[in-house]
Chain A
Amino acid sequence: MAERSEVLKVVYAAIDEVNESLPADEQVPKDEGTILVDKSGGLDSLVLINLVGEIEDRVEDDFDASITIANEDAMSQENSPFKTVGSLVDYVCKLIEEDDND
């Protein structure tokens, strides 16, 4: 089972990767409170797509777990896992655990 701190490192590494292609004033902060998707704003959709894809690839490489973050479960949850970096880390931990149990 993946430690949350390890998953957080993976997500931050993915943010680093995404930030490499973004201008200085559009960098995604490596902070659990960073808003990803919100009615009043959040990340540009393309940045979010790249971040999610990067996290999925890194989770597979580092944890040997095959996860799809943008799945029906995530989309139907009342409290979206895409709200913040912290909530996304929690959700990725859950997906890795489910993959381990398969």
Chain B
Amino acid sequence: MTNEIMVITGSSKGIGRYLTEHYTSLGMKVYGCSRGASDFVHENYSHTCLDVTDEVAVGQMFKEIRKTHKRLDVLINNAGIFTINHTLLTPISSVRKILETNVLGTYLFSREAAKLMKKNNYGRIVNFSSLSVPLKLAGESIYAASKAAVVSLAETMARDFASLGITVNTVGPPVVKTEIIKDVSEADIKHLLEQTVLPRFAEPEEVRNVIDFFISPASGMITGQTVYLGGV
């Protein structure tokens, strides 16, 4: 995978940061983005501050990649908002924000990435869903709905992009110890973990293992698939 060109959304923190550090260390050229700045510095890394729902800013980011490399090999749609909140206590502003970041952002990046990937008739797109989808946990209605939409996007885009040499797959991690869960209570985390076949936190390396499989050049026949870590 050396010399591949990759985009990772939400690259400044958590799993996105871990993946960014890992793939740059392998020699891949990584273009990352997040709303805030990143303190990660590496010769193979370029960072853009943007909102993943900002069509103009996202378009500009991909145009820079096109001008520099004329191609894109991998997109990891990692950026997302996680929340646990009872349906009766969730304001519409939160619902909108979650849907826009998790669904619209994934859609927008996938669309722009595919425009670039099709030039080379090759591409790997990986979406981030969640165990919240199959587990249907109370308090996660809009989060689970947004992540179910991400699975649906991947399954449908896999068909849209099949003739372009682009695969689209989804990884659904359980709880990973990152900043995304910093505001979630211990009781909620415990309850979530208890629903899984393997009731423990996932390590970032375990998430990466699935991504490595999806983005491998040898995985050209793997598309429209979802792998839930932790078991359902």
Show the binding face of A for B, using Cβ within 8 Å.
Answer: 46, 49-50, 53, 57, 60, 66, 68
Complex: A49 Cα to B115 Cα, angstroms: 9
Q: A50-B118, A53-B115, A53-B119 are in contact. List 5 more A-B contacts (CB 8 A).
A: A46-B164, A49-B118, A53-B118, A66-B59, A66-B63
- For residue B164, which residues in chain A have a CB less than 8 angstroms away from its CB? 46
- For residue B63, which residues in chain A have a CB less than 8 angstroms away from its CB? 60, 66
Complex: A80 Cα to B216 Cα, angstroms: 41
Contact digits for B46-73, partner A, Cβ 8 Å, 1 yes 0 no:
0000000000000110010010000000
Complex: A50 Cα to B66 Cα, angstroms: 15
- For residue A66, which residues in chain B have a CB less than 8 angstroms away from its CB? 59-60, 63
Residue of B nearest to A68 (CB): B59
Residue of B nearest to A57 (CB): B66
| A-B residue pairs in contact (CB < 8 Å), sample of 13 | A46-B163, A46-B164, A49-B118, A50-B118, A53-B115, A53-B118, A53-B119, A57-B66, A60-B63, A66-B59, A66-B60, A66-B63, A68-B59
Complex: A60 Cα to B118 Cα, angstroms: 18
- For residue B66, which residues in chain A have a CB less than 8 angstroms away from its CB? 57
- For residue B119, which residues in chain A have a CB less than 8 angstroms away from its CB? 53
Residue of B nearest to A54 (CB): B119
Complex: A61 Cα to B66 Cα, angstroms: 11
Q: Is the interface of A mostly helix, strand, loop or mixed?
A: helix
Residue of A nearest to B115 (CB): A53
Complex: A53 Cα to B59 Cα, angstroms: 13
- For residue A46, which residues in chain B have a CB less than 8 angstroms away from its CB? 163-164
Q: In the complex, what's the smallest C-beta–C-beta distance from B53 to chain A, in angstroms? A: 16
Complex: A80 Cα to B63 Cα, angstroms: 27
Complex: A23 Cα to B66 Cα, angstroms: 27
Q: In the complex, what's the smallest C-beta–C-beta distance from B25 to chain A, in angstroms? A: 32
Complex: A66 Cα to B60 Cα, angstroms: 9
Complex: A68 Cα to B55 Cα, angstroms: 11
- For residue B60, which residues in chain A have a CB less than 8 angstroms away from its CB? 66
Complex: A42 Cα to B163 Cα, angstroms: 19
Residue of B nearest to A21 (CB): B121
Complex: A46 Cα to B118 Cα, angstroms: 11
- For residue B118, which residues in chain A have a CB less than 8 angstroms away from its CB? 49-50, 53
Q: In the complex, what's the smallest C-beta–C-beta distance from B114 to chain A, in angstroms? A: 9
